[in-house]
Amino acid sequence: MKTFKMLAFDLLVNDEIKEIPLTDGIIINQENSHKMWILELFTADTYYDFFQNFVTSGEVLDARAIISLPDNEPAPFACVVHSITKVGDKISVLIKGRLKAQRKKYAELLLAELLEEGLRNDELLEAFDQGMRNRPSLKQNGE
C-alpha cells in the first residue's frame, strides 16, 4: 500500500462540481487486484448530512482529488461514501473507489477550450495560468 496527502477534493453532483474544503486528507492506493483506493477527508461537520445521503444511497459518485502537490493533475475516481465519523466539530469521511482511466491531460484540454473561446496572446496566457491554478471543470472532460 502507498499513502499520499490529499490537497483538494470535489464531487460531481447533479452535473455541478461541489468543492469540499479539506482540513486534512489522505489517499491510499491499496495496490490490490481490485485496484481499490481509500480516500479519507477531514472536513467541517456542516457536511455531515450531505455525505450521509450518499452513505444511505450507496450511489457511485464521480470525484476528483489533487494528490501530493498543488500542481498535480486532479485524479478522477468512481467512488462510494463508506462511512462518516464525527470528531469534535469536524467529520472524517471514508470513501472507497477506483481510479478512472485518465483521458487527455488537463492542461491540453484547458488549452483547447480556451483556444475555442478565441483567446489569444496575453489573454490566452492569463486565462491558462488562472485555469491551471483553479482547475475549473472542462467541457471535453465530461466532468
For 4-47, the pLDDT digits (tens) are 999 999 999 888 889 999 999 999 999 888 889 999 999 999 99
- Predicted local confidence at residue 8, as pLDDT: 96
pLDDT for the residue 35: 84
DSSP class of residue 83 equals E
* Calpha distance 17→11 (Å, rounded): 6
Q: What is the CA radius of gyration of the chain?
A: 16
In this prediction the pTM is 0.72
User: 93 near 84, Cβ under 8 Å?
Assistant: yes
Q: How many CB atoms lie within 10 A of CB 134?
A: 7
How does residue 142 score in pLDDT terms, banded at 50, 70 and 90? Answer: very low
* Cα–Cα distance for residue pair 80/38, rounded to 1 Å: 10
Give the position of cell 489522505.
26
